[in-house]
Structures are given as structure tokens and as C-alpha cells.
Amino acid sequence: MLALHDADCLLHETVEFIGAKAIPAHESPARLQAILSALKAPDSSHQVQELSYTSLPETAKNDLFTTISQNHDAGYLHHLQTVFSTWRDKDLVEADGSILPECWRFPTSIKDYHVSPQAPRDIYARAGFYAFDMSTGIMKTTWQSTIASANLAYQGVHTLFPPSSSSIATTTSPAPEEATEEAATPPPTTLLTLCRPPGHHCDGARAGGYCYVNNVAVAISTYRTQFPTARIAVLDLDFHHGNGTQELYYADPSVLYVSIHGEHEFPYYTGAATETGIGEGEGFNVNLPLAPESGVGAYMEVLDKAVREVRGFEPAFVVVSLGFDTYELDPIGRFRIATGDYEGIARRAKGAVPEGVRSLVVLEGGYVVEKLGENLLSWLKGWEEGTEE
Ligand code: SP5
Ligand code: ZN
């Protein structure tokens, strides 16, 4: 299977505050290194295509930023890009430090009274205004990795659905004869984007759960420039509920969000089965919380349900949020899935994709670095062998 990677995704490296301690974040560059070594091993049947956001032409960078801005607030994006240098200039953070929030925007107990929706003037307070946890620090290269990660989702959609206009971003401008050759090659039906940082927890204006820009939303917005009204299904298989993705499409009947996740686990306040969408989006959000310590048997039962939901929706495009924190030894996930189980899970999950429909697999979490490569290879085997509907 084709996987897209950008070396800039390795730069971001932060600390998180967890269980009364500041520790190196579980979401580390070593995760991606482990995945790359597995995919690039001599006996691997997979191909890793290296992309480089930094060497894109300005027009492509602008187009990507416009796409990101469709889902994320301008003040929030400005914050992600500038907060580190602003703090650094005032000597408020070390060159190798990470900025974490100190005070959040909080609800009040007074009915119908809401605290100010404005970003606070205070430079410390803004870190809390634009975040919802203390796992999502901002260091000097966070934005560089974030934009490279988002670009993978953007380019992934362009690879699956090559835009007719040549003005759209490619990494290099091919010579005319190569361009003809490229046009003759049919696009892949599925591909994997090795996104890091991940994306499914951040909403329009808050970083959280190691996420800064919602890569799935980038993929959806990119797809929509070509197919504005087509139905899109998101199948979220990370251990955690993708609160950000849910929120972005909660009122949208053209995007079905289906998630299997640990019940009563991070992000704690979302993910209940009663969250089914709002307004026109009612019925197009399906949460399937599963008890912690569940093994592959219980998982498969709920996966069947998820697959039926996606099929019933008849999507024209399927996006998978793929996390390996469902693995039995994961330090922050609590299911009991074994390496060998991923093959069967992926084979079954592939049944969610209708025949002839293309799919994009976007990397989210998974924190047992030593097993990530094996787990992914097992999953990819099942996904590639699994048949569409
Ligand atoms: C993308 C992704 O997987 N983000 C997950 C972020 C979760 N961060 C907080 C997890 C808290 C887990 N608490 C259990 C501590 C056991 N030592
Ligand atoms: Zn997760």
C-alpha cells in the first residue's frame, strides 16, 4: 500500500502533564520512526512516498492554508503559528521548551450567562483559550510538523482524486512527457497518510489530545472542492473518541461520523451513544462506546455495527481515523487487542467501503513504539486483502 510521509512530521516533540507529572509526551517522533522502519523494511510490500511541505510552491501552500481555514478559526491558527516565538522573544520559554496552558475558558453556574468568547489579552491566558488539555504543548517546530501533517491529508486526497486542473499542488512540476505518463496511471483506490501530529481531537479553535489541526477535516475539505455535495463517511478506530471530528460535522448530514472508542475514557466529556447529531445532522453521528478491557470478540461485534452504519449511508468516499492505542499494552488505551487481531479487524472494517469507492487512512494515536510497526503491518494486510462491500 502507498503511504505518504513528510520528514517535518518528526520535528514536533513536547512534554505532557499526566498523572501529576510532566513527562515526555507519549505522542513522540519515535512512533513515526518505528512505523517508517516497518514500512521500509527490505521485505515490505508497501511504498513510502516522501513529500515536503516546505518545498511546495507558494500557491500550493496558500491553497492548503485556505483549506485548513475552512475548519479552524483564524485567531486559533495565528496562535499556533506565533505563540512560541512571542513567548521566546519575551524570554518566557526556553528554546527547547513547550508551552502548556495555565487557565481555561470555563463554564459558569449562572444560567444563560456565558463567559466572554473573546481571546484574552493576557499572553499566558491565550494558551488556555486555544487548548482543552495539558497534553498538547506548543514548541518551536510544532507548527512546521502540524502543517506538514495536514499537507499529507491534502495530498492524499489529490492522489486518490487527481484534480483535472494542473494548477493544483504537486510536490514537483513534472516534465510534460512524465505528466502524460502520470495521467495514464490510474489512481490508487486506498492510501495511508502518516500524519503526525494526529488530528481527531482538535475542534475549530482548541488544540487537545496531541492534536492541532484536524487532518480528517483537511481531507474532507479537499475532497469537497471537487465533489461539493457527495456523502463522506468517517470511521474512527482510535481508542479515544474523536471529539473534534464529531464536533466539526455534528450538524452536517453529508458527513457520517462513526466511532468505536473506550467508554468513559479521554476526552471524557464526549463520545456517548446519545450524541447523534443536531439539526439536519441528526442521525449522522454514531458513537459506539465499548467498555475498557474489551477484547477482540466484543470489538468485532461493535465493528460489525459500525460497518453496517457506514454501508447504509452509501458514502462516495470513506476516511478512516486509525489509532493503535487499542493495543493491549498501550499505556493510555485500555482495550485488549493483540497484534494478530488487527488483520481481522481491518479485513472486517474494509467491508464498510462500498465497491468502487476510494478510501483514505489517516494515522491518529498508538503509543507502544516497539509494536507500532508490527501492528500497522498486520492491519494493512487485512485492509488490502479485505474486499469492499
Ligand atoms: C490522538 C490520541 O490518541 N490522543 C490521546 C490523548 C490522550 N491524553 C490523555 C490520556 C490520559 C490517560 N490517563 C490514563 C493514565 C494511565 N497511566
Ligand atoms: Zn487515541
Confidence band, pLDDT 50/70/90 cuts, at residue 111? confident
> pTM here?
0.95
- The cell numbers describing 47, all together, are 511504498
Which one is predicted more confidently, 170 or 231? Answer: 231
Average pLDDT, the chain: 95
> Which of 22-31, 105-114, 301-310, 326-335 is predicted with the least confidence, judged by mean pLDDT?
105-114
Does residue 114 have an active-site annotation?
A: no
Residue nearest to atom 6 of ligand 1 (CA): 209
User: Is residue 37 pLDDT above 90, yes or no?
Assistant: yes
Distance from Cα 59 to the centre of ligand 2, integer Å: 33
- Residue 241, Cβ density class (10 Å: 0-12 exposed, 13-18 middle, ≥19 buried): buried
CA distance 291 to 102: 32
User: Is residue 206 pLDDT above 50, yes or no?
Assistant: yes
For ligand 1, pick from 238, 260, 266 the residue to mutate: most ligand atoms within 8 Å of CB: 266
Confidence band, pLDDT 50/70/90 cuts, at residue 179? low
Distance from Cα 158 to the centre of ligand 1, integer Å: 32
Which letter does DSSP use for residue 10 in this model? Answer: G
**Cβ neighbours of residue 8 closer than 8 Å, sequence gap 6 or more:** 52, 53, 54, 141, 144, 145, 147, 148
User: Is residue 156 pLDDT above 80, yes or no?
Assistant: yes
Confidence band, pLDDT 50/70/90 cuts, at residue 165? low
Ligand sitting nearest the alpha carbon of 326? 2
CA distance 337 to 326: 6
Residue nearest to atom 2 of ligand 1 (CA): 365
Q: Which atom in ligand 1 lies closest to the alpha carbon of residue 365?
A: 3
pLDDT computed for residue 180 by the predictor: 53
Ligand sitting nearest the alpha carbon of 239? 2
Q: Identify which of 202, 189, 145 has the alpha carbon closest to the alpha carbon of residue 356.
A: 189
Confidence band, pLDDT 50/70/90 cuts, at residue 167? very low
User: Is residue 209 pLDDT above 80, yes or no?
Assistant: yes
Q: Are 100 and 242 in contact (CB under 8 A)?
A: no
User: Is residue 171 pLDDT above 60, yes or no?
Assistant: no
CA distance 216 to 129: 23
Residue range 9-23: average pLDDT? 95
Name residues contacting ligand 1 (CB within 6 A).
Answer: 18-19, 135, 198, 201, 209-211, 238, 240, 266, 323, 325, 332, 364-365
Residue nearest to atom 3 of ligand 1 (CA): 365
Which letter does DSSP use for residue 55 in this model? Answer: G
Burial 184-201 (b: 16+ CB within 10 A, else e): eeeeeebbbbbbbbbbbb
CA distance 296 to 174: 46
Confidence band, pLDDT 50/70/90 cuts, at residue 112? confident
- Residue 66, Cβ density class (10 Å: 0-12 exposed, 13-18 middle, ≥19 buried): exposed
Confidence band, pLDDT 50/70/90 cuts, at residue 166? very low
pLDDT computed for residue 40 by the predictor: 98
Q: How far is CA 145 from CA 169, 186, 200, in A?
A: 19, 30, 16
For ligand 1, pick from 332, 334, 367, 375 the residue to mutate: most ligand atoms within 8 Å of CB: 332
Distance from Cα 187 to the centre of ligand 2, integer Å: 30
Ligand sitting nearest the alpha carbon of 267? 1
Distance from Cα 23 to the centre of ligand 1, integer Å: 12
- Catalytic one of 5, 26, 72, 201: 201
CA distance 26 to 15: 8
Q: Are 192 and 361 in contact (CB under 8 A)?
A: yes
Distance from Cα 146 to the centre of ligand 2, integer Å: 17
Could you give the 3-state DSSP secondary structure of residue 94?
A: coil
User: Is residue 52 pLDDT above 80, yes or no?
Assistant: yes
